Amino acid sequence: MRSDKDAVVSKLSQDYKQEIEDSNLGDYIPWPEEAIIAYSVYNYTQQLDQCLVQYLRDELGQWWSDNMHHIDGGMSNLPEKFYDYLREEITFNVTVNEIDYKCTETEMEVTVKGFYTTSGRPCEFTGNAVIVTTPLHIIRQIKMKSMDTNPDTEFPDMLYKAIEDVWYGPSTKIMIQSKTRFWDKPGAKNPIKGGFSKTNLPIGQVHYPTAPSSEPPEKGILLVYTWKSEALLFGALHPLIAIKEAVRQIGEIHPEIVDEYEVGAVEAWYNEPSAQGAYVLLKPHQYRNIERLMYYPFLNIFFAGEGISTAAGWIQGALESGLRAAYQFYARNEDSIMHIINPPEITECARGFADSNPDNKKKKKSKKSRRPHPPTKPSSSARTQI
């Protein structure tokens, strides 16, 4: 938006330079400040400093379309169904601060250490591998310790470097319950059916959630959805004050809300100890950082989460990364412990056991059919086996 014609031409191959020179591109760049502001208002979110990959992903993939799906009864049904099957295996209210690991040709072990958040009492869990699904910046707060004396198995600084600059965007939602759905009542002069209103107020946007059935209830919900500095502003307030201020600002658009307001709730993800942010907002060049974690686990430590996916910031990003991590663990167990080789960038730093063990190198030479790394997504047959 702020580039001039010469900057654009300098990045093109010779085949396209003349074509650009003959065009009137210079009449349109750099964008005037008014055009940039207009784009920010027109766009759903004004994240103009994010990675170009995320912009192209959303636009070329047509993610903002009428073909998006949801789970009947609410998205919370997904984890709740898993919980029905795994309730005996899940331990809540545990803060993890250390992961000890060992991964050799004959032994694969990992011990996760932490403490119960409510009592502070230490605890630990042992298994063959671990899938780390915490937000990326929380991974930096967990000590990774090799139980092997081989220095090549130390958790590489390059992995820490890959995630230390990844930015998690702040976001705060304020839910306001009203006595009636006054904005879409039958007979209203200009009824609002779903969608949202954009404002120049700190509340940013006012969403009008659609009713889950053809016969909407009498009561309604208005949703204030904020990002960036506005999210920090509302998130820093006491919830009661944040709700009161949101109602006041909504009242400038819908005066009815002052009398219609019943109760409200606030969710500020930046203030949640287990989240410390809402979603990954990749800056320029940072997609390459998470790419290393997406396709290459480190020994018996696997990574998942919406931030480690091609759909960062979206629910399907979490689903995609979970399936990928499960397949990587499955593939490594079905073939051999060293089925997945670390990429050159990480091998250069940590060199992984697979590349430092002479016996393992000999075995690789004798099995020419072994893949150097797993496919980026599981085949349909592998999905069935999982």
What is the block-wise mean pLDDT of the chain (386 residues), using blocks of 10 residues? Answer: 61 66 63 69 64 75 75 86 92 94 87 95 95 89 88 81 81 94 81 84 88 72 90 94 96 93 95 88 77 81 89 86 91 60 42 38 39 34 26
**pTM > 0.75:** no
Contact present, 175 and 223 (Cβ < 8 Å): yes
Omega before 135 cis (within 30°)?
Answer: no
Contact present, 258 and 251 (Cβ < 8 Å): yes
Alpha-carbon span 12 to 23, nearest angstrom: 14
DSSP 298: B
The reported pLDDT for the residue numbered 212 is: 64
The reported pLDDT for the residue numbered 346 is: 41
> Which residues neighbour 75 within 8 Å (Cβ) at sequence distance 6 or greater?
315
The reported pLDDT for the residue numbered 90 is: 92
The reported pLDDT for the residue numbered 86 is: 92
The reported pLDDT for the residue numbered 117 is: 93
Alpha-carbon span 257 to 147, nearest angstrom: 60
> Which residues neighbour 343 within 8 Å (Cβ) at sequence distance 6 or greater?
292, 295, 296, 373
The reported pLDDT for the residue numbered 214 is: 61
Using alpha carbons, select from 109, 111, 108, 168 the residue that is nearest to residue 138: 168
Pairing type for strands 301-303 and 171-178 reads unpaired
The reported pLDDT for the residue numbered 359 is: 42
| DSSP annotation string for 251-268 | TTT-TTHHHHEEEEEEEE
Which tokens hold the place of 13? Answer: 């191959």
DSSP 302: E
Using alpha carbons, select from 328, 326, 327, 324 the residue that is nearest to residue 309: 324
Contact present, 150 and 134 (Cβ < 8 Å): no
Alpha-carbon span 183 to 162, nearest angstrom: 47
Q: How many residues does the chain have?
A: 386
For residue 139, which amino acid is it? Answer: I
Rounded to whole angstroms, the maximal C-alpha distance in the chain is 79
Phi and psi, residue 367, nearest 5°: -120, 80
Alpha-carbon span 138 to 24, nearest angstrom: 48
Alpha-carbon span 173 to 257, nearest angstrom: 17
**Three-state secondary-structure class, residue 108:** strand
Domains of the chain: 5-52 (no CATH), 87-167+281-385 (3.50.50.60), 171-271 (3.90.660.10)
CB atoms within 10 A of CB 140: 13
The reported pLDDT for the residue numbered 345 is: 44
DSSP 155: P
The reported pLDDT for the residue numbered 286 is: 77
Place of tokens 């976001």: 171
Using alpha carbons, select from 107, 100, 103, 104 the residue that is nearest to residue 126: 100
